[in-house]
Amino acid sequence: MKTLICLLLLSFFTTICNSQTTIYGTIAPGDRELGLRLDQRLSNYGLYISLPVIRGNYLYGETYVRHHHKIALGGLKYFRNGSMASVGISYHRYGQYSFIDGIMPRNTLEPFSFEIGIGTRMERFSYALTCDPFKTDFTACFGYLIIKKHVR
């Protein structure tokens, strides 16, 4: 059911804009979460949404956080050389967890945070890297331009 909701959100996001659309597969190495990201380019600016497909788990011995979900929404700025910058907000949801002080910072469990990112495109292939500076969480995104329209 959650996957269906994610797919409906992605399809809704693609229909609201008549622009360039890039779809990404994402991986967060810190918790091994896999997901999807969708970019919509609107001239020199754009929007993105990132949704989880497979939940992540932080495991550090006896310290762990299970079933981590992250949903992010943000804006993009495109530059003439094919690169882009992004800033967005993210919502985190966590399942069961156990902490031993000093192993993992407590702010890891905050539900809201923000992320910044950079990326580039070569022809139809894109790559982006986002970072949550408070949680020190990185996400790598590998994408493909699926709808290519001329954007000024």
The answer to whether residue 71 sits within a structural domain is: yes
The pLDDT tens digits of the residues spanning 82-122 come to: 899 999 999 988 777 776 666 666 677 788 999 999 999 98
Please say if the pLDDT value at position 64 is more than 70: no
Q: For residue 97, give its domain range.
A: 2-147
pTM of the model: 0.78
Specify the pLDDT at position 54.
75
The answer to whether residue 19 sits within a structural domain is: yes
Helix (H, G, I), strand (E, B) or coil at 13: helix
The answer to whether residue 152 sits within a structural domain is: no
The answer to whether residue 105 sits within a structural domain is: yes
What's the domain count of the chain? 1
The answer to whether residue 119 sits within a structural domain is: yes
The answer to whether residue 26 sits within a structural domain is: yes
- 19: domain CATH number is 2.40.128
The answer to whether residue 23 sits within a structural domain is: yes
Q: Which residue(s) pair with 141 in the sheet?
A: 26, 128
Neighbour-count burial for 1-38, b at 16+ CB within 10 Å, e otherwise: eeeeebeeebeebbeeeebbbbbbebbbebbebebbbb
The answer to whether residue 70 sits within a structural domain is: yes
Please say if the pLDDT value at position 12 is more than 60: no
